[in-house]
Structure formats: C-alpha cells, structure tokens
Structure 1
Amino acid sequence: MRVVSALLTGLLSLAVQAAPSTPASLDRGLWPEQLDNPALFDVASRAEILSFARVLHENELLDENALAARLGLRQVNLQKIRQVRARLWQRLWQGYQQAQRSCEQDASFCYAVTSMAELRLQAATFATDVGEFYTGWIEPSRQFHEQYLNEQLRKAALLPQTSSEVQRLSAAERNGDELNDRLFLLTFAGGPGAAAGTTDELTAYLRKQKLDGTFFVLGSRLQQRRDGESLAALRRLYAGQCVGIQGWEYRSHAQWTDWQASISRSQARVRADLPEQYVPLFRPPYGQRRADGQAFMQRQQLQVSLWDIDAQDDSGLSAQASAERVLTLMLLWRKGVIQFHDALPKARPAVQWLLEHTAQSGIGWQDCREYGQGE
C-alpha cells in the first residue's frame, strides 16, 4: 500500500506540474480593423499593451498561494516571478511610448500616460471606456493575455532549477530585446525536415518573398540530409538563409553530460557544410542551458540566441491560430525574435498568413546575417 500511495503521490505531483495543453491564441478577426497602415498597427498595439498591462496588474494582487494555484504548481520562486514581472512592465512602458507616436493620426487608446506609474494606473481601469466598436475584442483579449502571462510566469516560477527563454542567464545572451521598434527576426528550430519536405517548402517560400530567416539545425538531422542527398543539395536548401546550431540532438543541454560535445560537433558540421550560411548562434532546445556555460560559449565564439515570441506551432494550435498568436505578441512587444519549427507542417502556412496580414502595417524584418554577426 505504501508503494501504491507513493506512486499516486508522484503522479499527482506530476499532474500539478503539467503545463497547460493548449497555448494561448487570439482570433484576430475579433479586432475590428485591418492593419492597413502603421497608424492602425499602433492602435492595435496600444490596445494589446493596455490589455496585457491590466492582466499583469491584477496578477500582482495575488498572494503566493493563489499564484501557485493559478500556475498549477505546488510552490513558486516568487523572487524570479517578481523579476520577470518587472521586466515585462519595462517592456510595456517602452512599447507604449513608441506606440503613442502616432496618436495625432489616430487617438484610439491614447491616454495621458507619461510614466511607468501612470501606465500602471491606466492599466488598473482599462476596458471601462474603450467604446462599443471594440467591445467584441475586450474579453477575448483579456483571456489571451491572462493565459499567456501564466505561461511566462510558470517558467519564471521554475527558475533557476529549470532554465528557459523567459530569462537571460548573462548579458551575452540575446533574445530580441536589442532590436529596433517594429523590427522582427524570423527563426526556425528543430530542422531540417525530411528531404523534399517542410523545410524545403519553407526556404523556397521565403526566397520567393525575398525574405530570410535563421534556421537552427540539429547536427544529426543535417547529417542525415547530407548522407541522403548531397552537399550541393544541402547548400541549395539553405541558399539565401542563415543557419545557426541547436546541438546534435533535440534534448535539454542543461543536464546532459555531453552538452559541450553536442554543440561543438554540430558547429563543426555546419561550418564545414554551410560556410556561407553559418552564423555563430546557438538556440538551446526548450530554452534550457547551463548557468556556467558562458565560458565554453565564448571559446566556441558562439552566442546563445533565445526568442521572445513563440509561435507554439509544435502544440495543438492550428497553423492560423499559431500565426494569430504571433501577430498578437508582435503587437504587444513591437519587436522581437519569433520562433517557428520548420520540420513541422504548420510553419510555412503560418508564416504566409503572418506576412499577408502585416504587409501594409509598417513593420520590418531583420536581416538574419546582420543579426547573426551582431553583438
């Protein structure tokens, strides 16, 4: 009985620790305007910033027990959660300042907010006077941001035992925060896919659109593609794109004893096979890496490249729902590194939807080589 009881306790503990099955997404059709010009992008951006700020403000009112229950955890690292909250507030304030610049063209969601403190006050009462035109968007947006915030704070609550993209471990790591306003970098992880498959379709589509992205490849999959085809075919596959590394296998590099060999082996493979496409960036699977790994990364002349907009195209979301999630987060953060998975079939249609719905919005796409070679 004791064995059975222990097993049940363990299973219950795992259930409590389990993450939500379906990530947050928001039907962009609920927003009543098209993003047909930069000013309308700013209107939608101001709205999403204030909607998220409202949820963030409400979250700060929870005590530790209520927060743990909200996140589905037995206990939380409250210090890390507060650090992440503070960083989120800072980004919201920076983004709202940028989004206010077009208020003379369209005053929707423009308030007399001139400081972080005033943004917090505005967030506390947001959604009481937005007008009938936006009423169909208000509650779905609040639900999206509450779920999205839970996703982020759950990762913060597990720090430092489980590292993730939610917090940098050193100033040398990059996550897109250094980009200019309205500038986004397309990145793809977990590839390449099988020959003549999703990666081929995606890179061909990007070239047709005269766009590039950074593809973080697994050394083992790259080796399989080369063995099954040819080096020339591999170079054609990534022509015009950038290629970083994700290790030899898609597994956490935080506890793996061979993590250094995984990185150096895959780095050597990419540098030898794709010298024109190689960029010195490492994307840790699941965002998990070692806190003491910076010295090794410096010796390898690599930088950890994280992301701050996750498409979640490897989840139960459809391709369009994944793209709608990305667009909502682009409006919220106004800049950043977007992560898709090129070995999965949702990435290409999601990217296509995203490009079609932002074509006139005034955003820009960061050149992958310029980013990859930057500091």
Structure 2
Amino acid sequence: MTTIFEPARLGPLTLRNRVLKAATFEGRTPKALVTDELIEFHRAIAAGGVAMTTVAYCAVAPEGRTERRQIHMRPEAVPGLTRLAEAVHAEGAKVAAQVGHAGPVADARSNRAPALGASRRLSPLTGQFIQAASEDDIERITAAHADAAELAADAGFDSVELHFGHNYLISSFLSPRLNRRRDGWGGTTEARARLARQVAEAVRTRVGTRIAVTAKLNLDDGVRGGLKPDESLQVARLLQDDGHLDALELTAGSSLLNPMYLFHGKPPVRDFAAAFPQPLRTGLRVFGRAFLKHYPYEPLYLLPMARTFRAELTMPLILLGGVTDHAGMRRAMDEGFEFVAMGRALLMEPDLIERIARDESTESRCIHCNRCMPTIYSGTRCVLT
C-alpha cells in the first residue's frame, strides 16, 4: 500500500510525502520579480507540510505572461528566486517553478507585445488578434524554456513544471480547435504534439538530472472541438515514450474559453466583475455566466477521466482537482496515482497537510466558492479567512 506521509521519489528528488501545492498565480509580483510577500506565501505553505510548493507563473519570455506583473525568467529574477528557494528549503520542503508561455491567454495590451498562438484568431479576452507563431518564434520559445529551467536550477529550485495545459501556447498547439496549421506543427495528433515533445526534450537536455521535470497536461479542454481525453492520452503516451519527464500532472479546462472546467463549483461572477473598472464590470455582470460556467463540485472530480490515463500509462501521475482530505488522498493512492496536488484548500489553510498528517479525520474548511479566483489581481488569498 502506498503511504501518503512517507518519503517518495520524483525523478532525482526525494520528497517528504506525496502532497504537492499546485501552481496558482499568487498576484504578488508587481514588478515581475520575487517579493517578500511571494516568499512568505510559499514559506507558509512549506511550513504547513506539503512536500513541494509550486511557484506560478514563471513565463519564459516577456510576451509569454498573461499580464505584465508576472515573473518572466531572466537573470534579474535569480536573486529573488534564490531567496524564495532558501526559505522553502528551511521549512523542509522542495520548490518547483511552473514555466511556460501563455500564448493566446496573454494580454497583449498589458505586455505591450502581440499574443501568440498556434493559429491566428480573435482573442475573446482582449478583442485583439492573436498572431500565429512563426518558425522563428517556435525556435526561440523552445530555447527559452530550456533557459528558464536552467535559471530555476541555478536559483536552487528542485523542479520545473512545464505548462502544457489550459490553452496556453503549447496547449493551443495541442488543441484541434485552436491549431489550424497546415505545416509540420498542425493536423495529426502527433504533429500537434510536436512542440510539447520538443520543449520537454530541450529542457531535459539542458538540466539533465539536476532537477525534476514534470508537465501539466489537459485531460480535456472542456470546449467543443478542443483536445479530448482520447487524443490527450495519445499525447501522454508520446511524452512517456520520449522519456524526458518525471511525471505528468493531469488538469483540464481552458483559460481562454472555459476556465471553470478546471475549478468546478460556483462561478464567482460578481467578484470578478468587482475586480474590473467600468464598462467591463457591467459587461461581466451581464454576460459573465456565459463564460464562467457552472460545473458542480464533488471530491476528486477529475478522477473519472484520469483513471484511463492511470490504466494506460506507466509513468508517475499527479492527480489534481478536489483533493482536500485524507480520504481523497488515500483513494488516489489506492487507484495508482503517485502524487496529489492541492490548490484552493491550501489558500484557506496553509497548514492543512500538517494537521491531516496528525489526525486523518481532519476536514478542510474550503467550501469551493471560488471567490479566491478574482483575488489574483490583488494578492491571491481566501476571502473567507
């Protein structure tokens, strides 16, 4: 029987348990650099008992941020990242950097640079056109992922998580809906997976076994014509066979077209509206429910889709989505998942893992109201504490 609260291997790492803090943008980098507030956010999570906490979001290029206040990986970021890693290590945990390129999810107006995607299309987020990534863009961004991973390793990070989900750039290449290319990067599933595989190889080649390398991959985009579980499984098999990743974290949804498919629970439409100025505030109140759809919350809500991946793959898998208590962790382990990842529950209670380890009957106080989601603009937090 897999034990949750004993040391476990993830690639070259030995983690103190099998619970990871999932990447959730912290909203604490106003100048695109690490702050004391960001360090304290992750130090508290580490002190609360997780095996590894994930810093999000670390863009590999300036135009790869969802907006300009996010970290983009460059030499100036290393001193702050080093301090963050040291603070997490002092609490006995490991630290990962989620690295990637936001692609079509990027706010071109905020970044003052065009958003890139697999194909040209109008952005529903900004009303501006997303440009199709050129061959030069693809080459540059692939190299930038390797550079970012090396910077993370140099800063003392233990792992990088490559963002292949949520219709960010690489996910947009995987999506049949967003990828309309007729060159070697579009068409078949294998061709659409080419960029993900190329990035994973470039990162592994650069960092070797200095750090662990994982990837976040959509089970399902949650939109008509998007990536579905059967094709996603094909992509996962290709990534597994390439052998460049130490684990896959299974996720879902599209930050571009259907974000609530990942979160599940009540859509916080009014809270999102309040976070924006007029006239966008009124627009969100009137039309927000068309974009922020309601998917009822239940524990381990991604498990039904993820089971097929566990049955078909041999590589380590990380289960995300509705993991809040010992019973859920135990069920995930019993079904063969090597690790679980938690997000919202740890925003409310950073010490939840430590308390569960002491008392298996401990229940999370998180009610999955999702009102934490709009706080990414002012410092991600639980508004009920």
- TM-score, normalised to structure 1, is 0.36
Relative to the length of structure 2, the TM-score reads 0.35
Larger radius of gyration, structure 1 or 2? 1
Higher relative contact order (CA 8 A, sep 6+): 1
More strand by share: 2
